[in-house]
Structure 1
Amino acid sequence: MSNKKKKKNNMKKKKDVPIEAFKDMSAEYGDKAWNILEHAIRRIYNHNARNILSFKELYRNARNFHGFGEKLYSGLVATITSQLKEMATSVADTQKSSFLKELNRKWNDHRKALRMIRDIIMHADRTYNSMTKTPVYELGLNLWRENVIYSNQIRTRFLNMLLGLICKDYAEEVVNKKLIRKITNMLMDLGPSVYVQEFENPFLQLPAEFYRAESQKFIECCDCGDYLKKAEMRLNEVIDRVSHFWDPSTQKKITIVVEKEMIENHMIRLILMENSGLVNMIGDDKYEDLSRMYNLFRRVTGGLSQIREVITSYIRDYSKQLVTDPERLKNPVEFVQRLLDEKDKFSRIINLAFSNDKLFQKDLYSSFEFIINLNPRSPEYISLFLNDKLQNGLKGISEDVVEITLNKVMFLFRYLQEKDVFEKYYKKHLAKRLLSGKTVSDDAERSLIAKLKTECGYEFTAKLEGMLTDMKTSLHPMKSFYASHPELGDADGATLTVQVLTTGSWPTQSSVTCNIPTEMVVLCEKFLLYYLSNHTDRKLSWQTNMGTADLKATFENGQKHELNVSTYQMCVLMLFNNADRLSYKEIEQATEIPASDLKMCLQSLALVKGKDVLRKEPMNNYVSEIDAFFVNDKFSSKLYKVKIGSVVAETEPEPEKLKTQERVEEERRPQIQASIVRIMKSRKKLEHNNLVAEVTKQLQSRFLANPTEVKKQIESLIERVFLERDNSDRKLYRYLA
């Protein structure tokens, strides 16, 4: 029973008090009801609302204004306006130091009053006002704006005092930040347009003037790095100041102002600043300053393009100096290494300072494409660089480091326009490495060939892979040969190792001849008979210019050495087993080595310090046809095994280079013709310029086709009736099936 009673009592407490229904009011009743409401509104504004009628009574009076909405609305406007004018006078009479505080206090009073008034006349606000008039609370904000903020007594003074406080803050004086924030919130409550017109527009002139003067002061006394630090600090301060003072919508606008005055107006001067600008930062590896410049300049229009332009110009100027300096071009390996070092340097800058920006990467690739093709000998130099690394430069280095090195070189190779020229040189250098046994490892060789295949396709590397295959398959015939000739296994006698090379895969020279020593001729003939007896459909020709030999030599006082020499050097040295002194002419006649090769061979044997197993007369720095040679009995070395390399030009001599270029041009012609036929077969008819463009694009993975050469091959195909010209348009070609 007690629980039920308790529940019943609670229900009674929550029961709503009934409010009288609408009733028609006379004019006299309307005046009386309004007087009650007006009196209550004034008491609310005067902070004396305790003794007014109850909320319920006031609500009923306002609700009963049915049919008198205009009277209620106009009376409300007049009463609030009257109160606000009194407030405006009170604020205007306030002393300077308390002016903004008083304005903020009156604003809070007004908002509080508006909320109470809105609750009292809620019904009329929802029925009458919502259809034809401004809602009460919004009306109160509008009246505050017109009668207080826009008052002649307040408007100018208010703006000057607010801006004055902000100026003090810029001067690092102590100001009431909370008060400023409250005032700016008031302006936003009155509407974004009020905030913009009364505060934001005049305010934005202050930082523009302040930062313009400050940036000028900084740039006169600071280097580029210090200036950028100060600019960064100022931008951070702006963001902090926005959070304390202004509406967030102002942040972007004031940030643009600061960026313009501190960065945009001084971009060119900062980039080109003497002894500390962008070029100096790059040269001194100042990644922190470069990162700061990137992050600041990206804020303004055209900022990053200015940096990109200078960096691109810097790289290209450097490359021109490198390519036009004869001293730097003397060493191909050093030339390529400089390019790789420069590429690594800018890759680090882009990664560490420029957030790995794709546009900067694109500029880097474009710049190095320009560099690598600026030097016409780049294909040869890159091949020489790889030859140096794969021959001895990567020994004792982990596989990961080898891969990194090869990938770096592939970056340069990727932008070569004449990849087929590189192929010519690389095949020649690879052959020497393989046949002399000087390659760092088969894995490294195969790894590079795999990268070349990925870049250029199977046809590009087919012969290179064939060379590696020949080296591997040559092991089996040699084992079988010695198994069938056990008498040749004597350790003190001459031995022979043969690599059987496939014609077409290797850069062989069939016209080269050389008289092999008698001791070796016997072995060569035996191997020839053995091999041809097992491969009756094959033909072998000796490539003596591509071989090596190990000779055991005894000098004065019984000093013994094992000399690692080329086949040509072996032929020369073994002549001195039967002669103490030989002239150049006698050596040439006995060996029949081509003159150019013989001179380099003798130079390496007689004129290289520490490897001079021969002496010559007269003693000078070159080999001529009047020289005479004899064994250097006093030759000595700390090593038992002495490697005597062949003296060869680091780069290909100019006549040989021209021959190589001619061979390349000859090999390009059928490729151009094949490309033209493929394109025309699929397109049936095509205009001249479009055909040239498509041929160039199709062949660019191997070389950059010369439009003149493409035109010649088109004419050749027309003569051979593969193509014909259109009768009405001579620039239009048709394919003849």
Structure 2
Amino acid sequence: MAAGGKTKFVIPPFRQSQAMDEEYANRTWQTLHSAIHEIHRQNASGLSFEELYRNAYNMVLHKFGDKLYNGLVETITLHLRGVAQEVAVAADGDFLPQLKEKWEKHRLSSIMIRDILMYMDRTYVVAQKKVAVFERGLQIFRDEVCRNDRIKGRLLATVLDLIHRERCSETIERGVIKTVTSMLVELGQDVYQRDFEVPFLEATADFYRKESHECLAQNSASEYMRKAEARLGEEHERVTHYLDKASEGRLNEVVERQLIAEHMRTLAEMEHSGVVPMLEDDRIPDLKRAYELFGRVTSPDGLGVIRELMSGHVKGRGQQLVAEEPGAARDPVEFVKGLLALRDKYQSIIQGAFSGDKTFFNALNSTFEYFINLNQRSPEYISLFVDEQMRKGMRGTSEDEVEAMLDKVVMLFRYLQEKDVFEKYYKQHLAKRLLGGRSISDDVERSMIQKLKQECGYQFTSKLEGMFMDMKVSADTQDKFRAANGSSKVESIDLSVQVLTTGFWPTQVSGGCNLPAPVARCCEVFREHYLKQHSGRRLQWQTSMGNADLKAQFGASRHEINVSTYMMCVLLLFNDNDRLSYADIARDTAIAPAELKRTLQSLACGKFKLLLKEPKGREVDESDAFSFNASFSSKQLRFKVGTVSAQRETEAEKHETRQKVDEDRKPQIEAAIVRIMKSRKEMEHNALIADVTAQLTARFMPHPNVIKKRIESLIEREFLERDKNNWRMYKYLA
């Protein structure tokens, strides 16, 4: 009885009526031997498995385990030698089916024998560290049958021949190969690999090595890759049907190496059908196939080959696009449209064919950054494109389309190394749009500024936002002037003034002009009103940024004309004069020569010829004379006279803009140097150059020589000093 009143049951071993001696053990073994023999003959139906189990149990219990185990090994060995003889002499057509049948019978027999000798497996085999009965039977089959000198080579050759025939489009019996490979796996993974997989992979490599060279000579790149893709699919199916799953990785590696890795460069660069023709013709399915096949190869980098060719091709297209033809007038809008179309094309290809691979997008971005910055006028052209879109290019488009266009422009802006140059031009163009009331929408303008702020920070867009604030304040100021004056008209002239903060708006270098007396009186009335409201401020009229609406009569026709302030000054002179020389106009208006010539060219040589020039011609000379064109006519009652080349800089203006940019950069470079040196205290020359460049890259790419000059300037002003023992080492002076 156990604790708690529960009974503990113990199963005792079989009781022996008598001790087992050698002679009895021999008789018992003979009984078991006969039973094993019957099992091998597939004649086990008449056997008593309980009695046989008891006999084996008794032999092990009475210390005759050695006799039983060794006898079993000998019996199985003798049996399988006979089996090997039968298989070896089988005809070619019967060889594999015969082996398959013998294996299946042996496996079934081994399971029965294991059941009979289960007690020996659990005790004697464990104690003596022997191989279990079933596994020992497999080992003997491996040694006596599979590795028999007359069977081993024939088995491998037969299986490889069947696989070869299947690769050559013949139909074979897959089931028998499946049995053989499963048999080899069960006999041991090392058996499968050494006796079958290694030579199988060698034969596979030979087959595809020959086929790839033949196929390469006869097919285009697209056709070759289609066949390679089909072959890889066949090998996967082969693994699924009759190979061990563990073979798939090694098999794929062999096939990929022979079909793809060895020929990647040849395929990718194939004339008329390689990667570049695929890119040019937008052959998305072929590019997708190339991406998937080359992506299988990691050493060398298969996708790197496609990226390299794509980058080279895009770089070539981009260089053609940005190259300046000597003497040719480049249309900025068409230039940027070409860039956007080029990027849209390859962005679409990367999304559709290369699964949106980030490494391909990085390569595309790097390539665009390279060739866009080859053209020094790219910042100006991109700003002019935005100007065109903001004026009329996006009129009538949906909000989503507007946002998409702005995002594309910002992408191009992101590639610019001289973002501060873009800022200069953008500020000028935005000023003209705001002052002329030519922008399609303030919301769109603010959206663009917000996107630029996300790219470069608040400092980059603070002045642009200040320009919008000035426009709002100017509207309030105009309302107050109208209320104080009783009307916005002064001496029948309707005056509208925008008061601009000097620091926000682009600096105007124009010397102004002599305004007509009525206009000058209007301006003085506004000045007095404004200074009463804001004492201590100074107003400076920027006539180059203004415009006027004039009512004009040409013969019997009347028109309302929108012109610049300079044009207004010139045209009003002809109220009292029918003919004036260039010198007369220059004296009376005091307009700068370059601006005056442009103004007169717009009035006399442009679309609307309000003045007549003597002598005739496209260019204005200081010896020319001008007269009022009384015979002028136009179908439009109201029209605008644009300034010739108003959106294009002259060479002098380009030089001036570049000088302004260079001057603005100097304090930024010095500020970066001081920030870095203040935190580091000491730095070597090259390290300082590298850190300054890294800090300023977001706005522009400073040249090392420019940084060096700024360092010298700071040393002269005693912000820094050189180390006395190492002239390339700088120290910060607090």
Question: d(CA) in 1 for partners of 2:13 and 2:500?
Answer: 114
Q: In structure 1, what is the equivalent of residue 4 of structure 2?
A: none
1:50 paired residue among 22, 45, 52 = 45
1:55-94 to structure 2, matched below 5 A, reads: 55-65=49-59, 66-94=62-90
Question: d(CA) in 2 for partners of 1:89 and 1:16?
Answer: 47
Q: Give the TM-score, by structure 1 length.
A: 0.93
Structure 1 residue runs of 4+, over 6 Å off? 15-18
Is residue 510–residue 543 contact of structure 1 (8 Å, CA) maintained in 2? no
* Shift of residue 489, structure 1, vs aligned partner: 4.3
* Shift of residue 407, structure 1, vs aligned partner: 1.4
Q: In structure 2, what is the equivalent of residue 121 of structure 1?
A: 117
Question: d(CA) in 2 for partners of 1:654 and 1:516?
Answer: 28
Residue 103 (structure 1) aligned with residue 99 (structure 2): yes
Offset from partner CA, 1:582-609 (integer Å, 9 cap, x none): 2222222221211111111122222223
Question: d(CA) in 1 for partners of 2:545 and 2:148?
Answer: 103
* Shift of residue 710, structure 1, vs aligned partner: 2.1
Q: In structure 2, what is the equivalent of residue 577 of structure 1?
A: 575
Q: In structure 2, what is the equivalent of residue 507 of structure 1?
A: 506
Q: In structure 2, what is the equivalent of residue 32 of structure 1?
A: 27
Question: d(CA) in 1 for partners of 2:485 and 2:54?
Answer: 130
Is residue 322–residue 372 contact of structure 2 (8 Å, CA) maintained in 1? no
Is residue 204–residue 254 contact of structure 2 (8 Å, CA) maintained in 1? yes
* Shift of residue 304, structure 1, vs aligned partner: 0.4
Q: 1:258 to 1:89 in 2, by over 3 A?
A: same
* Shift of residue 76, structure 1, vs aligned partner: 0.8
Aligned-partner residue type, residue 699 of structure 1: L
Aligned-partner residue type, residue 49 of structure 2: F
Determine helix, strand or coil for the equivalent of 1:64: helix
1:283 paired residue among 280, 285, 303 = 280
Q: In structure 2, what is the equivalent of residue 9 of structure 1?
A: none
Aligned-partner residue type, residue 62 of structure 1: A
Question: d(CA) in 2 for partners of 1:256 and 1:641?
Answer: 76
1:41 paired residue among 36, 47, 55 = 36
* Shift of residue 476, structure 1, vs aligned partner: 1.7
Q: In structure 2, what is the equivalent of residue 170 of structure 1?
A: 167
1:198 paired residue among 186, 195, 199 = 195
* Shift of residue 349, structure 1, vs aligned partner: 1.4
Question: d(CA) in 1 for partners of 2:337 and 2:79?
Answer: 85
Aligned-partner residue type, residue 73 of structure 2: V
Q: In structure 2, what is the equivalent of residue 319 of structure 1?
A: 318
Question: d(CA) in 1 for partners of 2:316 and 2:17?
Answer: 91
Q: 1:22 to 1:723 in 2, by over 3 A?
A: farther
Q: 1:651 to 1:555 in 2, by over 3 A?
A: closer
Question: d(CA) in 2 for partners of 1:675 and 1:211?
Answer: 61
Q: In structure 1, what is the equivalent of residue 539 of structure 2?
A: 540
Determine helix, strand or coil for the equivalent of 1:374: coil
Q: In structure 1, what is the equivalent of residue 689 of structure 2?
A: 692
Is residue 383–residue 429 contact of structure 2 (8 Å, CA) maintained in 1? yes
Question: d(CA) in 1 for partners of 2:635 and 2:405?
Answer: 33
Question: d(CA) in 1 for partners of 2:186 and 2:699?
Answer: 70
Aligned-partner residue type, residue 42 of structure 2: H
Q: 1:22 to 1:398 in 2, by over 3 A?
A: farther
Aligned-partner residue type, residue 585 of structure 1: A
* Shift of residue 649, structure 1, vs aligned partner: 5.8
Aligned-partner residue type, residue 101 of structure 2: R
Aligned-partner residue type, residue 29 of structure 1: Y
Is residue 332–residue 651 contact of structure 1 (8 Å, CA) maintained in 2? no
1:404-553 to structure 2, matched below 5 A, reads: 404-486=404-486, 489=489, 493-509=492-508, 512-553=511-552
Question: d(CA) in 2 for partners of 1:521 and 1:730?
Answer: 62
Q: 1:243 to 1:590 in 2, by over 3 A?
A: same
1:141-220 to structure 2, matched below 5 A, reads: 141-220=138-217
Question: d(CA) in 2 for partners of 1:522 and 1:410?
Answer: 45
Question: d(CA) in 2 for partners of 1:206 and 1:377?
Answer: 61
Is residue 235–residue 258 contact of structure 1 (8 Å, CA) maintained in 2? yes
Q: In structure 2, what is the equivalent of residue 348 of structure 1?
A: 348
Determine helix, strand or coil for the equivalent of 2:321: helix
Structure 2 unaligned spans of 5+: 1-9
* Shift of residue 382, structure 1, vs aligned partner: 1.8
Question: d(CA) in 2 for partners of 1:266 and 1:651?
Answer: 52
* Shift of residue 115, structure 1, vs aligned partner: 0.6
Q: In structure 2, what is the equivalent of residue 3 of structure 1?
A: none
Question: d(CA) in 2 for partners of 1:245 and 1:280?
Answer: 40
Q: In structure 1, what is the equivalent of residue 131 of structure 2?
A: 134
Same amino acid, percent of matched pairs:
50
Q: In structure 2, what is the equivalent of residue 8 of structure 1?
A: none
Question: d(CA) in 2 for partners of 1:172 and 1:720?
Answer: 85
Question: d(CA) in 1 for partners of 2:46 and 2:678?
Answer: 103
* Shift of residue 363, structure 1, vs aligned partner: 1.1
Offset from partner CA, 1:369-428 (integer Å, 9 cap, x none): 212222222222222222121122122222222221111111122232222222222211
Is residue 564–residue 643 contact of structure 1 (8 Å, CA) maintained in 2? yes
* Shift of residue 510, structure 1, vs aligned partner: 5.7
Q: In structure 1, what is the equivalent of residue 339 of structure 2?
A: 339
Q: In structure 1, what is the equivalent of residue 5 of structure 2?
A: none
1:15-26 to structure 2, matched below 5 A, reads: 19-21=14-16, 24-26=19-21
Q: Give the TM-score, by structure 2 length.
A: 0.94
Is residue 321–residue 339 contact of structure 2 (8 Å, CA) maintained in 1? no
Is residue 22–residue 64 contact of structure 1 (8 Å, CA) maintained in 2? no
Offset from partner CA, 1:271-302 (integer Å, 9 cap, x none): 11112211111111111111111011000132
1:617-632 to structure 2, matched below 5 A, reads: 617-632=614-629
Question: d(CA) in 2 for partners of 1:294 and 1:180?
Answer: 34
Aligned-partner residue type, residue 235 of structure 1: L
Question: d(CA) in 1 for partners of 2:641 and 2:510?
Answer: 26
Is residue 23–residue 64 contact of structure 1 (8 Å, CA) maintained in 2? no
Question: d(CA) in 2 for partners of 1:279 and 1:159?
Answer: 45
Offset from partner CA, 1:137-182 (integer Å, 9 cap, x none): 1111110011111112222222222222212211222211112111
* Shift of residue 459, structure 1, vs aligned partner: 2.0
Number of aligned residue pairs: give it: 719
Aligned-partner residue type, residue 497 of structure 2: V
Determine helix, strand or coil for the equivalent of 2:35: helix
1:262 paired residue among 238, 255, 259 = 259
Determine helix, strand or coil for the equivalent of 1:550: strand
Determine helix, strand or coil for the equivalent of 2:549: strand
Determine helix, strand or coil for the equivalent of 2:237: helix
Aligned alpha-carbon RMSD (Å): 2.1
Determine helix, strand or coil for the equivalent of 2:163: helix
Q: In structure 2, what is the equivalent of residue 11 of structure 1?
A: none
Question: d(CA) in 1 for partners of 2:701 and 2:188?
Answer: 66
Question: d(CA) in 2 for partners of 1:682 and 1:70?
Answer: 84
Offset from partner CA, 1:204-246 (integer Å, 9 cap, x none): 2333233333333332332222222221111111111211121
* Shift of residue 570, structure 1, vs aligned partner: 1.3
* Shift of residue 680, structure 1, vs aligned partner: 2.1
* Shift of residue 498, structure 1, vs aligned partner: 0.7
Determine helix, strand or coil for the equivalent of 1:266: helix
Aligned-partner residue type, residue 263 of structure 1: I
Determine helix, strand or coil for the equivalent of 1:565: strand
Aligned-partner residue type, residue 306 of structure 2: I
Question: Please, which moves more after superposition, 716-725 or 292-301?
Answer: 716-725
Question: d(CA) in 2 for partners of 1:22 and 1:656?
Answer: 123
Question: d(CA) in 1 for partners of 2:147 and 2:656?
Answer: 91
* Shift of residue 545, structure 1, vs aligned partner: 0.6
1:575-654 to structure 2, matched below 5 A, reads: 575-609=573-607, 611-648=608-645, 650-654=647-651
Question: d(CA) in 1 for partners of 2:188 and 2:731?
Answer: 73
Determine helix, strand or coil for the equivalent of 1:624: coil
Aligned-partner residue type, residue 202 of structure 2: Q
Determine helix, strand or coil for the equivalent of 2:548: strand
Offset from partner CA, 1:698-736 (integer Å, 9 cap, x none): 222222222222222222222222222333333332222
Structure 1 unaligned spans of 5+: 1-14
Is residue 549–residue 562 contact of structure 2 (8 Å, CA) maintained in 1? yes
Is residue 333–residue 381 contact of structure 1 (8 Å, CA) maintained in 2? yes
Question: d(CA) in 1 for partners of 2:488 and 2:270?
Answer: 77
Aligned-partner residue type, residue 111 of structure 1: R
Determine helix, strand or coil for the equivalent of 1:360: helix
* Shift of residue 116, structure 1, vs aligned partner: 0.8
